[in-house]
Structure 1
Amino acid sequence: MTTIKTIIVDDEPLALGLLKSKLSKNPNIEIVCQCRNGREAIDAALSHRADLMFLDIQMPGLDGLDVVQQLQSDEMPLIVFTTAFEQYAINAFDLHAVDYILKPIDQERIDRAIERAIERLDKEENGQFKSGILNAINSMNAHQADTENVSFNEKRKIVIRDREEITLLNQPDIAWLEAAGDYVCVHANGETHIKRTTLKELLNELDPTLFKRVHRSTIVNLNYIEKVVPHTKGEFFLILGEHHKIKVSRNYRNVIKDYLQDGA
């Protein structure tokens, strides 16, 4: 029997209790944490190394999509959204194979989601989970002008287009960046912005004295590193603020070692 370590997240106590009750009927599920907001969900994902998260999308503060955007792909479990979506969101999720359960939740939908999760956990990597969700988010932003050719003279700023708005991010404000398929999540000033580009392309725009690649899918701003925590097999974690724990792979560990030896 497959045991799936599961986190459940909902800001409504009754909904959280109902979800727990229905999941507990499935012998494959082991609930390792219950969360009532996005911050708790991020902490739980980092602490419990769960396989699966049932995540409410509509929560005050950090919503379900914010949670996904702020988690590093290697630290993110498979996500099943549980919510009452608008039709445009359902269409986007269906198109990009993002798992969801419409409220009110029934046992049949729960069991079907678990069966699909078992299949996907055997076949896919975490980065693929996140990539699908980011593709769905992009589909929801129907007015996003990806094809516009806008020129700026701000050489040290990163241009983010989101719906009808264009944001210019100062590079020193960017804490870390993570690739997910055809997108890069740019984490700056406590927010996560999605830019359609590759990590390699974006790295060419970044100040090499500030930004270093620490993983095949992750770049960090060295000025945001608060702690370095050893891990297994030559890997270690970088602590960036309260809620960001970034894995450094063995292939890039010398980047951080050299930085520390230089007296950072």
Structure 2
Amino acid sequence: MTTIQTIIVDDEPLALGLLKSKLEKNPHIEIVAQCKNGREAIETALSTQADLMFLDIEMPGIDGLEVVKELQSDELPLVVFTTAYEQYAITAFDLHAVDYILKPIDQERIDRAVERAQVRLTQGERGQDKPGIIGAIDSMSHQQDGGDDTSNGARKIVIRDREEITLLKQEDIAWLEAAGDYVCVHANGETHIKRSTLKELLSDLDPSLFKRVHRSTIVNLNYIEKVIPHTKGEFFLILGEHHKVKVSRNYREVIKHYLDEGA
């Protein structure tokens, strides 16, 4: 197998340096980028198409969990979380088979994580762990009451978070992405996790605003600011200030039609 192209992310320079030094001892790893915050991690994942990311959870601004929520599944490398706090990992990560390393990091744990990544990459699982990660995030952050919260009948999307219920106006939603039995709803600069499938939400979304651009992604057409050509007939949509969403070949005609109408 070729070397595993790897991104490492940590806001603490000493921790980043330690992680780098230990990964460099593993002959299967090629470090392609070092990032000191979540925003850099997102931008680097989009530009490098790396295979693996060692990602610190506790970072100011956009933390490691938010990085995962922001990236489309196809743009998300395999992720190994690094954390100093066991409460993140004891139940939720184990339950959903999400790989993690507790700090202080030692060589044995690094090599074990790399070995697991090799197996997953050999099986073609790049990016396929997002549903598991979202499930773990949901287990840590949400109190589900089992009720039906698909819609409140007023064309708003209902998000239950612990004991709070947020009603999102559809015009405030920039894009949505499926992650197994969950949907990441990106609105007003935040990412909400909703226990639902994309198919279940489709009937509640305004078809004049929302269009599918990928098998697992829907965008609000009003948020498109730029269209950037990519490879093999694909392209990226720039939504607002920070979001970059890939349009697959199967759905490119949807965006072309929209652009032709606005010309």
Check whether TM > 0.5: yes
- Deviation of the 1:151 alpha carbon: 9.0
Give the match for residue 161 of structure 2. Answer: 162
Give the match for residue 113 of structure 1. Answer: 113
Give the match for residue 99 of structure 1. Answer: 99
Letter of the 1:14 partner, please give it. Answer: L
Give the match for residue 83 of structure 2. Answer: 83
TM-score by length of 2: 0.95
Give the match for residue 51 of structure 1. Answer: 51
* Contact 1:42–1:243 (Cα < 8 Å) also in 2: no
Aligned ranges 1:175-194 → 2 under 5 Å: 175-194=174-193
Q: Structure 1 pair 75/138, CA: closer, same or farther in 2 (3 Å)?
A: same
Letter of the 1:89 partner, please give it. Answer: A
Give the match for residue 10 of structure 1. Answer: 10
Letter of the 1:62 partner, please give it. Answer: I
152-161 vs 173-182, greater mean Cα deviation: 152-161
Give the match for residue 29 of structure 1. Answer: 29
Q: Secondary structure at the match of 1:97?
A: coil
Identity over aligned pairs, percent: 80
Q: Secondary structure at the match of 1:2?
A: coil
> C-alpha distance in 1, partners of 2:88/2:23?
27
> C-alpha distance in 1, partners of 2:213/2:108?
42
> C-alpha distance in 2, partners of 1:190/1:166?
18
Cα offsets for 1:21-54 (capped at 9, x unmatched): 0001111111111111111111111111110000
Q: Does 2:253 correspond to 1:259?
A: no
Letter of the 1:203 partner, please give it. Answer: L
Q: Structure 1 pair 252/97, CA: closer, same or farther in 2 (3 Å)?
A: same
Q: Structure 1 pair 54/202, CA: closer, same or farther in 2 (3 Å)?
A: same
Letter of the 1:8 partner, please give it. Answer: I
> C-alpha distance in 1, partners of 2:82/2:76?
17
Q: Structure 1 pair 42/187, CA: closer, same or farther in 2 (3 Å)?
A: same
TM-score by length of 1: 0.95
Letter of the 1:91 partner, please give it. Answer: T
* Contact 1:5–1:30 (Cα < 8 Å) also in 2: yes
Q: Does 2:142 correspond to 1:136?
A: no
> C-alpha distance in 2, partners of 1:62/1:238?
21
Structure 1 gaps of 5+ residues are: none
- Deviation of the 1:87 alpha carbon: 3.5
Q: Secondary structure at the match of 1:262?
A: helix
* Contact 1:77–1:126 (Cα < 8 Å) also in 2: yes
* Contact 1:43–1:243 (Cα < 8 Å) also in 2: no
102-111 vs 77-86, greater mean Cα deviation: 77-86
- Deviation of the 1:106 alpha carbon: 0.4
Give the match for residue 147 of structure 2. Answer: 148
Letter of the 1:186 partner, please give it. Answer: V
Say what the alpha-carbon RMSD is for the aligned residues: 1.6
> C-alpha distance in 2, partners of 1:90/1:49?
30
Q: Structure 1 pair 163/211, CA: closer, same or farther in 2 (3 Å)?
A: same
Q: Structure 1 pair 263/126, CA: closer, same or farther in 2 (3 Å)?
A: same
Letter of the 2:98 partner, please give it. Answer: V
> C-alpha distance in 2, partners of 1:88/1:231?
37
> C-alpha distance in 2, partners of 1:6/1:87?
26
126-135 vs 152-161, greater mean Cα deviation: 152-161
* Contact 2:57–2:65 (Cα < 8 Å) also in 1: yes
> C-alpha distance in 2, partners of 1:151/1:242?
28
Give the match for residue 211 of structure 1. Answer: 210
Runs of 4+ with deviation above 4 angstroms: 149-154
> C-alpha distance in 1, partners of 2:252/2:112?
41
* Contact 1:229–1:237 (Cα < 8 Å) also in 2: yes
- Deviation of the 1:153 alpha carbon: 4.9
Letter of the 1:133 partner, please give it. Answer: I
Give the match for residue 245 of structure 1. Answer: 244
